[in-house]
Amino acid sequence: MNREDLIRFEEEIKQLFLDKKIGAPVHLSVGSETPLIKIFKNVKKGDWVFSTHRSHYHALLKGVGREWLKKEILQKRSIHICNKEHKFFTSAIMSGILPIAVGVAMALKRKRSKNKVWAFVGDMTAEMGMFNECTKYASRHNLPIVFVVEDNRLSVNTPTQEVWGKSKTKPKIIRYKYKRKYPHQGCGAWVVF
């Protein structure tokens, strides 16, 4: 798919929405075509793609059929498109897809697969704890996953940095190390009550 094909699809969905043929929310992607086309040149057929509520372009670029996708959108499933055949899964829950994507990446590593996982999130999700936990875990376990942050600088309609604050100061964190004497629970002796 090229840029014009992607835009044409979204404009068609927009018109169906305006004509009241889609009785559910839709989230359109016009504006992100060029970087996505470049990224998807690296996504292989056997790779897994996990996306968000704004996934039409991702689905089309992964190879999901245009008419199949349109039918899903007309069936009120725009914000949670899933296609097992194309290894394409989404969730409308902020950061909800990330732990699943990391789990699939772990499975691919254990199977010694050549495939990888691509996890797409918005800039607001990239500020959340789940994103930090998943990227840290994936990095420390050398998992075959690529996290892609789509940054439109908005959290819904509020500037993302307004939500999180603009200060660049870091919080004071104190960390100390110690060697514990007792196990996690109890005192090391079995006690029957």
Write the CA distances from 103 to 2, 129, 137, integer angstroms.
Answer: 32, 17, 10
What mean pLDDT is reported for the chain?
Answer: 94
Other CB atoms within a 10 A radius of the CB of residue 94 amount to 17
Write the pLDDT tens digit of every residue in 111-121.
999 999 999 99
Q: What is the pTM of this model?
A: 0.88
Contacts 24+ apart (CB under 8 A), 67-74: 69/9, 70/9, 70/12, 70/13, 73/13, 73/16, 73/22, 73/26, 74/16, 74/21, 74/22
The helix/strand/coil state of 10 is helix
pLDDT for residue 157: 81
The helix/strand/coil state of 120 is strand
pLDDT for residue 184: 83
pLDDT for residue 108: 98
Question: Is a pLDDT exceeding 80 seen at residue 54?
Answer: yes
pLDDT for residue 61: 98
What residues are paired with 145 via a beta bridge? Answer: 117
Average pLDDT over every residue of 148-155: 90
Question: At 93, which helix (H) or strand (E)?
Answer: none
Write the pLDDT tens digit of every residue in 163-193.
888 777 888 888 888 898 888 888 888 888 8
Kindly list the domain boundaries of the chain, sorted by start residue.
3-164
pLDDT for residue 154: 82
Please report, rounded to a whole number, the percentage of residues in the chain having pLDDT higher than 70: 100
CATH class given for the domain over 3-164: alpha beta
DSSP β-ladder status, 158-159 and 154-155: antiparallel
